[in-house]
Structure formats: structure tokens, C-alpha cells
Structure 1
């Protein structure tokens, strides 16, 4: 009986520990932030229509190490070399629709 309770306790602790982790799609990375309500993903990533992330966003202050009780949430944002496309995926700027203002990001100046 003691072994059963011990196994159950380990399973519960593992489940609680993994609940805070978010699985992001390809070309995305998790970002922890305590103020997603006052900012959006465009602070962390660009899109085909607005390739440069917003520069004047409030900084995220969310650290596991400080032991604070802040309400931090994890959101998935595009990795640095990719942009958010109209279909919601993060891909290379060269995959943006024709006419998107991404010419300066392309190595050979296409589009």
C-alpha cells in the first residue's frame, strides 16, 4: 500500500510540474511573461505585414529563479529568423505573400 501511495504521489508531482510547460509548434519558442494582458505577441515577433517587432513594449518580468508569486503565463512566439504568416505558422520571410514589406529581410532582395 505504501508503494502505491508513493507511486501515486510521484505521478501527481510530475503532472503538476509539466502543466506549466507549453509545447510550441515548429519555428516557435516559449516566452514567459507576467503581462500578456497589456502586450501581445507582436512585441516578441514580426509578421509578414509588420516584419519588425514592436520596439516600445513593456518588458516581461517573469523569472522562476526569484521565487516570486507573479502570475506568469507562457505563450509561443516565432523564433528570431522567422515571421508569423497569415495562416498562423512561423516561417521564413521568403514564404510571405507577394507584396509583403519583407524585401529588406531577403538575401537577394526578391519580391
Structure 2
């Protein structure tokens, strides 16, 4: 699964759990406008930086960006594994920040 597919699935799963997802509703279109990571920030720390814009068929949009910091490790194998493991929590923070934005509520209600 690619990172955009992972983000899409995470958003869809959250909308389904909230009862806001339906195959019959007008779709939301998402674009990851920024994605970057480091597994060696400060030698044993890392971060993910993800920015996302959702647009509805009504023309409204909501955007957010999150930087998620984590402990990566000293050796390459640990740092790579920790970076991969941190993607899930980073995407959860992105979704949390997105749905807290009043523009998201307007996007969902007008879509």
C-alpha cells in the first residue's frame, strides 16, 4: 500500500466509524500536498511531516499539516523500523487535526 492509499484508507475508516461515509454521497477528493520524513533528526529522533487538502464537489476545501515527532534509534535497522511504525500515529494526528477544523465540518455538511 502506498502512503497516499494508507492515508485514504485511514480517512475512509474514520468516516465509516463516525457514520459519515457512504458510497452514495458526493465524494471527497484528497491531495497530499507535502510528505517528508527523517529518521535521524538529532541522531536518535525522527519526524513525519504531512500536509493534506480535502475538496468536496461543492467547491469547499479543508487543509491541514502536521509534524509528528518520534524516537527513531541509533542504528539504521531500528531507525527505519521506527520510522515505518510512526506513520500510523502521524496519520492519526493528521486526521485529528483535520476533523477539528471548522472547515472540515462545513465540507462534510455541504458535500
- TM-score bin (small chain): under 0.3
Structure with the greater alpha carbon radius of gyration: 1
TM-score normalised per structure 1: 0.23
Give the TM-score of the pair, scaled to structure 2.
Answer: 0.23
Give the strand-richer structure, 1 or 2: 2
More relative contact order, 1 or 2 (CA 8 Å, 6+ apart): 1
More helix by share: 2
